Amino acid sequence: MSAADREVILEANDLTREFDGVTVLDRFNFKLHKGEVLGLLGANGAGKTTAMNMLLGLTTPTSGTIRAFGMDFVKHRLEVLKRANFSSAYTSLPNNLLVWQNLTVFAKIYGVPNVKQKITELLELFEIADLRKRVTGQLSAGESTRLNLCKALLNDPELLLLDEPTASLDPDIADKVRKTIRKVQKERGISILYTSHLMKDIEEVCDRVIFLHKGKIVAEGSPEEIVKKADAASLEEVFIKIARSGDLAAAEGASASN
Amino acid sequence: MNPRIVSALVLRYLYLYGRTPMRLIELIFWPIVELLIWGYLGMYLKEHAGAAIPTIVGHLLGGIILWDVIFRAQQGVAISFLEDVWTRNLLNVFVAPVRNMEYLAATFIIGFFRILVTVTMLSVISFSLYQFSVFEMNWAILPFFGNLLVTGWALGMISTALILRWGQAAESLAWAVPFFIQPFTAVVYPVAMIKPEWVQYVAKALPSTHVFEGMREMLTHHTFNWTHFFWACGLNVVFLGVAGWIFSSTLNTTRKRGLLTKFATQ
């Protein structure tokens, strides 16, 4: 079955957001299918964080709609959030609690059965089982990121929104995190919306990517297709060209002239 | 409202207090200092003007102890919210399936626990040092306590809304907001003392004023003033409704303006 035939888990229709008269996201449309990892790429200010925040219900769209699991997100926010989860490099769990205490609180919020067993399973999955009784604030960046991901998987989400999950990690830990995310995603058929500035992340984890530039979609496809279409050597090269020239066609032109 | 979610959020605060006992100091230290100052002042006044105001110590200590019910309840809401801001945990909570009411209910319960700690300790000290027992108010202590708890929750929601509106720069409001009403709510002096006279109407519009007036009447004449009680209850319904509306609309505005994420990750 092709990706397009699979069930749509999350979709945005003409999602637009303006701040003080400036359009930071302009009629953004996409569909995330079941079991698919969709990367949202773009330079700083491209609109991906705004898009992510609207998809999480943290920012209200100026216009447009979001549907998740076939439901209107605004009307059924709680039902959607029960089946989804989120992790970001820019949030943390309360740093004065122990690792197991933080996970226990969120497991209870999400109504996870067999809390202890679930926490053990996830800590082992991310190879941080020895940190169970550590104070969260004493964890390294890599350990903290993996703890955030444990929190994000507590409720066995069908939809996962990951905002730069490997930011500030060393290459070894980043590699481990990517591989674990991909492994869990494949085993459980999770649909993931993934943002990152690390093209290695995107190439390794994402099935399909959307490039945003100044709030508009400028390219869409698999990482290989986009690299080929832009006549570039790597996704990183495409990223830089789009960030500087604004669209894929210009990127192709720039590539040809180089 | 889902009790499982509320209890999970309460559990988080209990873990926090269990792990950082230094936080208990604010529940103990400042209230004791205040009680000692007002208690000794009361003893001094009793000695020099005792015949004129025979119940002065009770009025002062009763006022101080009951004022702490408002303050701790308000702090339970506002400081619990700030804990999530300080630890950058706010987004995790807001993207979890938690209703605003469940979040608030957890902070209300924490406020109640904080009051139990402080009021129990103050009651023991005031009885030991000044032979003043809060039980001189008999069963009336319960409606007094209940009404002030609700006033504190309402002030807590207003404080949180102000912090949401103006960001972390305004976090000192978490401590300041109750003191906006303190001079006018007649904690340790009767409403009749408030000047100019028109301010007395402002004072009477506060639910807590009717509790403090009722407390003085109870301590002096041993009668429960039902008029003050009904005024306090009615005004509390209005206060709680208005505070809830301010909190919800501020949260919605923060979402509309896209400030929630900035605020939670700054």
Domain ranges of chain B: 3-265
pLDDT number for residue B53: 65
> ipTM value of the model?
0.84
Q: Which helix (H) or strand (E) holds B261?
A: helix B259-265
C-beta atoms of A90 and B19 within 8 A:
no
- Is B261 within 8 Å of A58 when comparing Cβ atoms? yes
3-state secondary structure string across chain A: CCHHHCCEEEEEEEEEEEECCEEEEEEEEEEEECCCEEEEECCCCCCHHHHHHHHCCCCCCCEEEEEECCEECCCCHHHHHHCEEEEECCCCCCCCCEHHHHHHHHHHHCCCCCHHHHHHHHHHHCCCHHHCCCEHHHCCHHHHHHHHHHHHHCCCCCEEEEECCCCCCCHHHHHHHHHHHHHHHHHHCCEEEEECCCHHHHHHHCCEEEEEECCEEEEEECHHHHHHHCCCCCHHHHHHHHHHHCCHHHHHHHHHHC
The answer to whether the CB atoms of A109 and B89 lie below 8 A apart is: no
What pLDDT is stored for residue B37 in this prediction?
85
Does the distance separating the beta carbons of B99 and A94 come in below 8 Å? Answer: no
Residue A247 pLDDT: 66
Which among A50, A91, A96 has the least Cβ separation from residue B88?
Answer: A91
Least confident of A55-59, A74-78, A240-244: A240-244
pLDDT of residue B85: 84
Q: What is the pLDDT of residues A33-50, one digit of tens each?
A: 999 999 998 888 888 888
Q: What's residue B138's pLDDT?
A: 77
CB contact under 8 A, B97 and A53: no
Residue A190: pLDDT above 90?
Answer: yes
Interface test with B, best of A18, A49, A54, A59 (most B CBs within 10 A): A59
User: For residue A99, what pLDDT is reported?
Assistant: 95
Select the residue of A60, A94, A135 nearest B256 (Cβ to Cβ).
A60
Q: How far is CA A80 from CA A70, A72, A77, in A?
A: 10, 9, 5
Q: Are A13 and A29 in contact (CB under 8 A)?
A: yes
- Determine the residue of chain A that is closest to B264 in CA distance: A91
Residue A58, pLDDT score: 86
Q: Residue B260 is nearest to which of A59, A81, A109, comparing CB atoms?
A: A59
Model pLDDT, residue B40: 85
Cis bond leading into B196, ω under 30°? Answer: yes
Average pLDDT rounded to a whole number, residues A97-122:
94
pLDDT of residue B255: 81
Cβ atoms of B168 and B263 within 8 Å: the answer is yes
Residues of chain B with pLDDT under 70: 50-54, 263-266
Please write the tens of the pLDDT for every residue from A220-251: 888 888 888 888 888 888 888 888 877 666 55
Find chain A residues with C-beta within 8 A of B84's C-beta.
94
Confidence (pLDDT) at A107: 96
In the prediction, which pLDDT does A251 show?
A: 52
Mutation site for A-interface testing, chosen from B12, B89, B95, B103 by largest number of A Cβ within 10 Å? B95
CB contact under 8 A, B95 and A58: yes
A196 pLDDT tier (thresholds 50, 70, 90): confident
Contact B89/A97, CB-based, under 8 Å? no
Q: How far is CA B260 from CA A76, A86, B173, in A?
A: 20, 16, 18
* Gap from A106 CA to chain B (nearest CA, Å): 7
Q: Does domain A3-83+157-257 have CATH number 3.40.50.300?
A: yes
Q: In what order do the strands lie in the sheet with A8-19?
A: A22-33, A8-19, A63-68, A71-72
- Contacting residues of B for A135, CB less than 8 Å apart: 19
State residue A115's pLDDT score. 94
Provide the pLDDT for residue B265.
63
- Interface-testing mutation among B252, B261, B262, with chain A (most A C-beta atoms within 10 A): B261
**What pLDDT digit, counting tens, does each position of B65-99 carry?**
899 899 989 998 998 888 888 887 888 888 899 99
Pairing of strands A37-41, A208-213: parallel
Which pLDDT belongs to residue B21? 76
B95, A106: Cβ pair inside 8 Å? no
pLDDT, position B225: 92
Residue that has been written with the tokens 């003893």 in this structure: B43
For residue B140, what is the DSSP state? Answer: G
Query: If you search the block for the tokens 């990367």, which residue do you land on?
Result: A39
Query: Is A151–B92 a contact, with Cβ atoms under 8 angstroms apart?
Result: yes
Residue A258 has pLDDT above 60, yes or no: no
CA pair distance B76, B104, nearest whole angstrom: 10
Residue A120 has pLDDT above 90, yes or no: yes
Q: What's the pLDDT tens digit per position in A11-20?
A: 999 999 988 8
Closest CA in chain B for residue A77: B97
Q: Return the higher-pLDDT residue of B19 and A1.
A: B19
Interface A-B, measured as beta-carbon pairs within 8 A, has a size of 103
The answer, yes or no, to whether residue A135 has pLDDT greater than 90, is yes
Show me where the domains of chain A are located: 3-83+157-257, 87-156
Distances (CA, A) of B170 to A58, B75, B119: 21, 15, 28
